[in-house]
C-alpha cells in the first residue's frame, strides 16, 4: 500500500473493527485489490501476532495506572455486568496465552462476509465497485454464523450492581 501512496488505518474497539483506506483515485483499483487480500486472506504472521500480543499487554498494564481507564472499566461492569462481553476486560495472563492458531480461529468465526459491512466514499466508479465485489467473492463462509455470548442482561435493564464505587 505504501508504494501506491495509500494509507490504511485500523481501529479496533470492543464491539467493532473499522478499516479506513485512503488513496488517490488513480491508484484506487490497485489499493482495493490489496485491501481485499488483507481482509479475505490474512497471513497472521507469527512475529506480528507476538508484537500485537505484547502491545495489548502493555496497554492493559498502562490502563491499570490511569484513573479514567479504571473508571471506564468499572463503569462497564456496572452497566453490563461481569458476564456480558462489554463488561469484561482482557487480562495479561489470558492475552499471553493467545496463539496464532487462536487468532486464525477467531478470524474464521467472526470475520465473515455475512457479519461485515463495506462502505465506499469518494471518486468510486461502477467498475471499481464491481471489482471490489468480485474480489470479495473469494471470502468464503466457513461454518455457521457464530452464536455470540451476550452474557446476562437483567430483565429490567437496571445496572447489575448498586451502591457507591470507590476506585
What values do phi and psi take at 143, rounded to 5? Answer: 75, -175
What does the block give as the cell for 62? 498502562
Measured in residues, the chain has a length of: 167
pLDDT digits (tens, 9 = 90+) for 57-77: 999 999 989 999 999 999 998
State the DSSP code for 148.
P
Rounded Cα distance, 132 and 113, in Å = 13
Q: Which of 69, 67, 63, 78 is nearest to 165 (CA)?
A: 78
In terms of pTM, does the model score above 0.95? no
CA 57 centroid distance within chain? 16
Quote the cell numbers at residue 96.
Answer: 499471553
Spans of the chain, pLDDT less than 70: 149-167
Amino acid at each position: 500500500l505504501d508504494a501506491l501512496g495509500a494509507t490504511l488505518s485500523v481501529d479496533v474497539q470492543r464491539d467493532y473493527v473499522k478499516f479506513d483506506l485512503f488513496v488517490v483515485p488513480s491508484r484506487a483499483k490497485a489499493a482495493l485489490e490489496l485491501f481485499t487480500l488483507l481482509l479475505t486472506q490474512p497471513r497472521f504472521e507469527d512475529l506480528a501476532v507476538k508484537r500485537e500480543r505484547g502491545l495489548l499487554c502493555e496497554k492493559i498494564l498502562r490502563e491499570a495506572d490511569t484513573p479514567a481507564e479504571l473508571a471506564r472499566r468499572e463503569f462497564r461492569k456496572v452497566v453490563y455486568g461481569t458476564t456480558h462481553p462489554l463488561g469484561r476486560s482482557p487480562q495479561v495472563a489470558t492475552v499471553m496465552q493467545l496463539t496464532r492458531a487462536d487468532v486464525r480461529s477467531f478470524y474464521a468465526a467472526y470475520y465473515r462476509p455475512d457479519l461485515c459491512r463495506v462502505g465506499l466514499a469518494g471518486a468510486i466508479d461502477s467498475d471499481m465497485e464491481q471489482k471490489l465485489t468480485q474480489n470479495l467473492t473469494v471470502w468464503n463462509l466457513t461454518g455457521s454464523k457464530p452464536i455470540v455470548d451476550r452474557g446476562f442482561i437483567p430483565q429490567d435493564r437496571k445496572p447489575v450492581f448498586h451502591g457507591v464505587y470507590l476506585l
